[in-house]
Amino acid sequence: MSEVDLDDIKRRMEGSLNSLKTEFMGLRAGRASTGMLEPVMVDAYGSKMPMSQVGNISAPEPRLLTVTVWDASLTASVEKAIRESDLGLNPMAEGTLIRVPIPDLSEERRRDMVKVASRYAEAARVSVRNVRRDGIETARKMQKDSLLSEDELRDMEGDIQKLTDDHVKMIDDALANKEKEITQV
C-alpha cells in the first residue's frame, strides 16, 4: 500500500452515518413508519426471520401500521413478535391482516427516545473516530517506512481530520433532526 486510501476512509465513515440513519428509522416519533417494524424478528419455520420476510408492512394512515402476513399459520407469531418488541405496540389480528395502532407518545417516553437517539449518535461518532485513528496510524506507519514525507503526512492527517469533522457534523445534524421530530407534539 503506497498511499492512505481517503475514499475507503470516507466510505467507512459514510457506513457509520448510514447505520445511524437506519437505527433512527426504528425510533418512532408518534407517526407510523414501516421502518419501525423492520428490525422485529418473528419465530417462523423454526428460526427467527425479519418481519419483511413473512409479510408486507404498510402505513395506510399516519397512526396505523398494517402487516399482511403471507402464511396464515404465522399470524400469531407475527402478532406476538410485535407485542414483545420494546416498541410499546399493541397489535390486533383480523385474519391474515394485523393492525398496529401507533399510540401518542408520553412526555417520559419521548425523553427516553431522545436518550436512545443520543446513544446511537455517540456510537456512530465513536465509529467515525475509530476510522480516523486507523487512517492516521496507517499514514504515520507509511511516514516511518519513508513512503510519505513529513509534509505529506501532515496534509494526509489534515484531510483525514476534515473528513472526520464533516461526518461528525452530519451525525450531530441527524441527531438534532431526530430529537426535533421526537419532541414535536
Residue 85, classified by CB atoms within 10 Å of its CB into exposed (0-12), middle (13-18) or buried (19+), is middle
pLDDT tens for 14-25 read 999 998 988 887
Phi, psi of 54 (to 5 degrees): -115, -10
Q: Where in the chain is the domain with CATH 1.10.132.20?
A: 6-25+106-183
Residues facing 99 on adjacent strands: 66, 92
Q: Where in the chain is the domain with CATH 3.30.1360.40?
A: 31-101
pLDDT at 31 over 80: no
Residue 3 pLDDT: 67
- Indicate left, alpha or beta for 67 from its phi (over 0: left) and psi (-120 to 50: alpha): beta
Residue 30 pLDDT: 64
For residues 135 and 9, the answer to whether their CB atoms sit within 8 Å is yes
Residue 2 pLDDT: 47
Q: Are strands 64-69 and 97-101 parallel, antiparallel or unpaired?
A: antiparallel
Query: How does the average pLDDT of the chain come out, rounded?
Result: 88
b/e per residue 44-74 (b: at least 16 CB within 10 A): beeeebebeebbebebeeeeebbbebeeeeb
pLDDT tens for 79-129 read 999 888 767 788 999 988 999 988 777 788 788 888 888 999 999 999 999
User: What average pLDDT does the segment 35-44 reach?
Assistant: 83
pLDDT at 1 over 50: no
Residue type, 86: D
Distance CA 129, CA 79 (A): 40
Residue 29 pLDDT: 64
Residues facing 57 on adjacent strands: 67
User: What average pLDDT does the segment 54-78 reach?
Assistant: 90
The domain made up of 31-101 is a member of CATH 3.40.50.300: no
Grid coordinates given for 119: 446513544
Place domain 6-25+106-183 in its CATH homologous superfamily: Ribosome-recycling factor (1.10.132.20)
- C-alpha torsion angle, residues 79, 83, 87, 88 (rounded to 10): 130
